[in-house]
Amino acid sequence: MIIVGGILLLIVLLILGVPVLYCFGSVVALYSMTLGYTALGLLPTMYGKLSSFTLLSIPLFIMAGGVMEKGKIGDALVDLIESLMYKIKGSLAVIMSVTCAVFGSVCGSGAATLSCIGSLLLPKMKDKKYPMEMMAALAACSAPLGMLIPPSAIQIVVAWSANLSVLACFLATVIPGIILTTLLSLTSWIMLRNNKDIQKIDIEEAILKDPKFYRKMLFQRTRYAFPALFMPVIILGSIYGGIMTATESAAVAVFYAVPVAIWAYKAIKFMDLKDIFIKTATSTGVVMVMVVMTMAMGHILTMENVPAQVLTFFTTLSGNKYIILLAINVFLVVIGMIMDDTCATMLVTPLLIPLMIKLGGSPYQMAAILGVNLGMGNVTPPTAPYLYMSSQIAGVNALKVSKYVLIFILFAYIPTLLLTTYVPELSTFLPKLLLGSRFR
């Protein structure tokens, strides 16, 4: 009963809007007082987990994302993708989804992706008479693509929490990420195809006046975007090629992004790096303190045999594997609605990975299911940080944006989630293909 009471307390505090750190801290304090756990008993375990080389990649990717956000690397990507997709009706909406996927694949941060790409494209969309509530919803729903298109900080946390291969977790989310990007683009195109208020973008008007202008402009934009495009080649190529670990590639991403932002795009100066590094240190400190609290709670739950009880609970619901998977997804949707992605990942990964193995599935499929579910949680009220952030950038009412968010969830996120859940090959094909015997 104490365990259940602690979890209920956590949910109530989260719904009331209490900061996540204090929510988990309160539950850990409750368990410590009632179950006899002490700081001396918890600290060695937490220190042992925190002194992980893998975790070092998280602040490095935060730093790389900060440099990219300020360094106009997103501008170059937007311009290039715009020149490739200008013929599509409502092309800026498709550009939003695709650019978020590409930018997210480099910085690994949904918040940095939304801040950079949303700030670039939403004002353009407003000028071209796009329906802004819908576009703010699309921006919010596209931002979590960085959690699926590797490198993803969330997948690093999954791999670290469950002692899995970081590379295999990255690969497991690639196809679901592409499917989600495609469905978001297709849904937005269908919603905009009969909108007569949308104006043509500047590039389309220029090309209609002078068709020869297109090839010259495409060459110029490709050349300008090359340093930005080469970044994912370095990061992902080195990881997939087995040359570097995720942590090493994150460090390389920082060292590559700084000169590109300073000299290639001339968007920042050396003095600007101070603010970026301070912001990185602050974000890392917040993340690590939350990690400590969720880790302490997770350790207590493990010692109290809660994973086995969760396993028993889900298996007693039904003997049918597919119904159990559906119940897991409902559980994750609720968790994602009230908890931020990092804490939710740390809390549920040790509970659900053993369950997936028990059901005869791959733990990497569960990593992909977690990625899609928690990405959806970032845009589902009451927490929905990306929904509120995009509404603020677009200058529109968050409540009106919510209506369109639900449409994107219904026609993009839920189909992706169902495919990821019930077609395991979507998440296991690439790891098997590229890792071969190293994939387990």
Give residues with Cβ within 8 angstroms of 239, minimum separation 6.
150, 151, 166, 167, 170, 245, 246, 249
Tokens matching residue 253: 């991403």
What's the rounded Cα separation, in Å, for the pair 401 and 263? Answer: 39
> Pseudo-torsion of CA 237, 239, 244, 250, nearest 10°?
100
pLDDT in tens, 79-114: 888 788 777 777 888 888 988 888 877 776 677 788
Q: How far is CA 375 from CA 98, 372, 429, in A?
A: 16, 5, 22
pLDDT in tens, 26-59: 888 888 888 877 766 777 766 666 677 777 777 8
* Number of alpha carbons in the 13 Å side-chain half-sphere of residue 157: 28
What's the rounded Cα separation, in Å, for the pair 386 and 408? Answer: 14
Instruction: Using the predicted structure, report yes or no on whether residue 414 has a pLDDT greater than 90.
Output: yes
Query: pTM of the entire structure?
Result: 0.84
pLDDT of residue 103: 80
pLDDT in tens, 144-175: 887 788 777 788 888 888 888 888 888 899 99
Domain boundaries, the chain: 53-438
Tokens matching residue 174: 């690639």
What's the rounded Cα separation, in Å, for the pair 116 and 282? Answer: 19
* DSSP alpha helix (H) spans, 339-397: 341-358, 363-377, 385-394
* DSSP alpha helix (H) spans, 16-127: 20-35, 39-50, 57-70, 73-85, 91-107, 110-113, 119-127
Q: How far is CA 272 from CA 116, 267, 268, in A?
A: 16, 10, 6
Q: What percent of the chain has pLDDT over 90?
A: 17
Report the greatest alpha carbon distance in the chain: 77
pLDDT of residue 49: 65
Q: What percent of the chain has pLDDT over 70?
A: 93
What's the rounded Cα separation, in Å, for the pair 149 and 152? Answer: 7
Q: Is 244 left (phi over 0), alpha (psi -120 to 50) or beta?
A: beta
Q: Are 368 and 420 in contact (CB under 8 A)?
A: yes
Instruction: Using the predicted structure, report yes or no on whether residue 437 has a pLDDT greater than 70.
Output: no
Terminal-to-terminal C-alpha distance of the chain: 37
**Neighbour count for residue 387 (Cβ, 10 Å):** 25
**Neighbour count for residue 194 (Cβ, 10 Å):** 8
